[in-house]
Each structure stands twice: as structure tokens, then as C-alpha cells.
């Protein structure tokens, strides 16, 4: 479903050349729940941006659902993002002036979907996160956890190939974070692939597979759930 081969991402300024990702190869299959961990500045966000088609790669190959996205135009990448990828952001990134219904409607409108179908999908998505009754509310009337649920509903409403979650619990207290993680597990159990970027190793243990990045490369071996506690202990010491 997602296959990166020898992907490099270099940021250049007049003075500095920064290799954010180097020879990065990774394959993620359908239905997986993969966590991406690593210290600050290791390249997690760069990976997320490239995986989510938010940035282009400098070299290498990225196959998304069999399509080589390395050479796509900005327009084609926007269309592909809209159809295949659902985003969950750390700060929720909801539109503060739009009510919940209109917020979730945003990706569907860009897809050019009919109003009746959009309404059906939005109601269904809001119902799945338990917020259907509040669809006329604006984000500021909700708690942080509820806002992230709305963001998850927005990510799911387009029935994407996979969800890209960027520190999805980073702005939530632990109780609320657990609730959000439970919701993500439910979504994954229903067959949706989830790629979650986090620096929280405790959260990463809840994924089926972890990919640890260090200095823009995958620090081998790829950790299994059993290894997490050891890794956590290493980082903690």
C-alpha cells in the first residue's frame, strides 16, 4: 500500500544543506497500525509530510497504492491527498469559524461530491465519534478531546486508504488521550490503516509495529511491541 525506497529529503539554504531523510526505505501494508517514533529533529515530521504528499522528496521512490507519486504535479498530489489520505493533526486544525458539519464537509467539497451524499457521510462520521448531536456547534464550544474526535471524523469521512496521525494526543490530557487512542484502535480494527507519528513511546507500544527514526534513517531493527519497553527504558535512562 505504501512503499518508500531509498527516499532522501534534503533542505537547502544558502549556507546549510540538511538531510532530513537519508536512504529511507519502508513498506506499510493495508490494515497495519504503525507508529513512527524518534527524538525531536530526527525526521519524523518530514516522513509524515512526504508520506502525506505534503512535501516532495529529493530522490528515491515512493509508491502509494501502486502509483509512483514522486513525479506528480501539485494538482495531482492534492487530488491524491483528498482521495487516499486522512490527516489527524496534533492541534486538531479545525476551522474555528465553521461548525462541525462544515468542518467535516471540507474534504468532501474539494472532492466535488453531491450534497446529499456528503450529508449522509458527515452524519455517519459524526455519529461514529459520538458528536452527531453537536454538528451545529463550532470547535470552540468543544473540549480538546471532542475537537480531536471531530478531526478524526473529518479524516475518516472521505474513506481514505490510510490515516496519518501527527501526535494525535499531544495536546490532550492522559484520560482524553486514552479515549482518542481507543477510537483509533477501533478504526484500525475496522480495517483502516493508521500511521501515527509520536515521540511518546508509551503510545507507540499500543501500535502493532513501530518504526524508529534516528538522524533521518530507520534505526534498525524495527521494533516489535515486546521491544518497546526496553527502548523506553533506554531512552528513559
Partner 1 sequence: METGPILRAMTRNKLGVILISLQIAFTMTVVINAFFIINERSRLMARPSGLDEANTFFLTSIGFGENFNGAVTVADDLAMLRQLPGVVDVTVTNAIPVSGSGSNSGVRLVDDESAPAAYAAYYRVDEHAVETMDLDIIAGRNFTTQEIQWRKSGEAIATDQLIISRALASRMFPEREPSAVLGETLYISGLPPHQVIGIVEQLQGPWPTNNNLELSMLQPIHSFDGADTYLLRTAPGERDRLMVEVEEMLVASNGSRIIRNLMSLERTRAESYQVDSAMSTILWVVIVTLVFITCMGIVGLAVFGINRRRKQIGTRRALGATRMQILRHFMVENFLVSGLGVTLGAVLTIGFGIGLTSIFNMPVMAWYYTPLGMLALIVIGQVAVLGPSSGAARTEPAIATRSV
97 binds partner 1 (CB under 8 A): yes
Q: Is the dihedral of CA 49, 51, 56, 60 positive or negative?
A: positive
Site for partner 1 in 160-199 (CB under 8 A): 166
Among residues 35, 37, 49, 192, which is the contact residue for partner 1, using CB under 8 A? 49
Write down the least CB distance from residue 109 to partner 1, Å: 6
55 close to 4: Cβ distance less than 8 angstroms: no
82 binds partner 1 (CB under 8 A): yes
Among residues 1, 54, 63, 161, which is the contact residue for partner 1, using CB under 8 A? 54
Coil, strand or helix at 92: coil
> How many H helices and E strands in the chain?
8, 10
Tell me the window of 3-11, 76-84, 127-135, 181-189 that interacts with partner 1 (CB under 8 A). Answer: 76-84
Instruction: Record the cell numbers describing residue 31, joined without a space.
Output: 490494515
Closest to partner 1 by CB, 165 vs 223, is: 165
Instruction: Record the cell numbers describing residue 150, joined without a space.
Output: 471531530
Short-list 166, 232, 170, 164, CA closest to 28: 164
Q: Are strands 217-218 and 67-68 parallel, antiparallel or unpaired?
A: unpaired
Can you give the binding site for partner 1, defined by CB under 8 A? 45, 48-49, 52-55, 74-75, 78-79, 81-83, 87, 89-91, 93, 95, 97-99, 102, 105-107, 109-111, 138, 154, 158, 166
Amino acid at each position: 500500500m505504501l512503499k518508500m525506497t531509498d527516499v532522501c529529503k534534503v533542505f537547502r539554504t544558502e549556507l546549510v544543506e540538511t538531510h532530513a531523510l537519508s536512504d529511507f526505505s519502508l513498506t506499510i501494508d493495508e490494515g497495519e497500525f504503525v507508529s513512527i517514533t524518534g527524538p525531536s529533529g530526527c525526521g519524523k515530521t518530514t516522513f509524515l509530510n512526504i508520506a502525506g504528499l505534503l512535501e516532495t522528496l529529493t530522490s528515491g521512490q515512493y509508491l502509494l497504492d501502486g502509483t509512483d507519486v514522486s513525479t506528480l504535479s501539485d494538482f495531482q498530489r492534492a487530488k491524491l491527498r483528498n482521495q487516499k489520505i486522512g490527516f489527524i493533526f496534533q492541534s486538531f486544525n479545525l476551522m474555528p469559524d465553521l461548525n462541525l458539519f462544515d468542518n467535516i464537509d471540507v474534504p468532501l467539497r474539494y472532492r466535488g461530491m453531491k450534497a446529499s451524499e456528503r450529508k449522509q457521510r458527515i452524519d455517519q462520521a459524526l455519529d461514529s465519534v459520538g458528536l452527531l448531536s453537536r454538528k451545529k456547534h463550532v470547535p470552540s464550544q468543544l473540549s480538546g478531546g471532542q475537537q480531536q474526535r471531530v478531526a478524526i471524523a473529518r479524516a475518516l469521512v472521505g474513506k481514505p486508504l490510510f490515516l496519518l496521525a501527527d501526535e494525535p494526543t499531544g495536546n490532550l490530557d492522559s484520560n482524553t488521550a486514552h479515549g482518542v487512542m481507543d477510537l483509533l484502535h477501533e478504526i484500525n480494527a475496522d480495517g483502516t490503516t493508521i500511521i501515527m507519528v509520536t515521540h511518546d513511546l508509551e503510545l507507540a507500544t499500543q501500535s502493532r509495529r513501530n518504526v524508529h527514526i534516528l538522524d533521518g534513517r530507520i534505526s534498525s531493527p524495527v521494533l516489535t511491541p515486546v521491544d518497546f519497553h526496553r527502548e523506553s527504558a533506554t531512552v528513559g535512562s
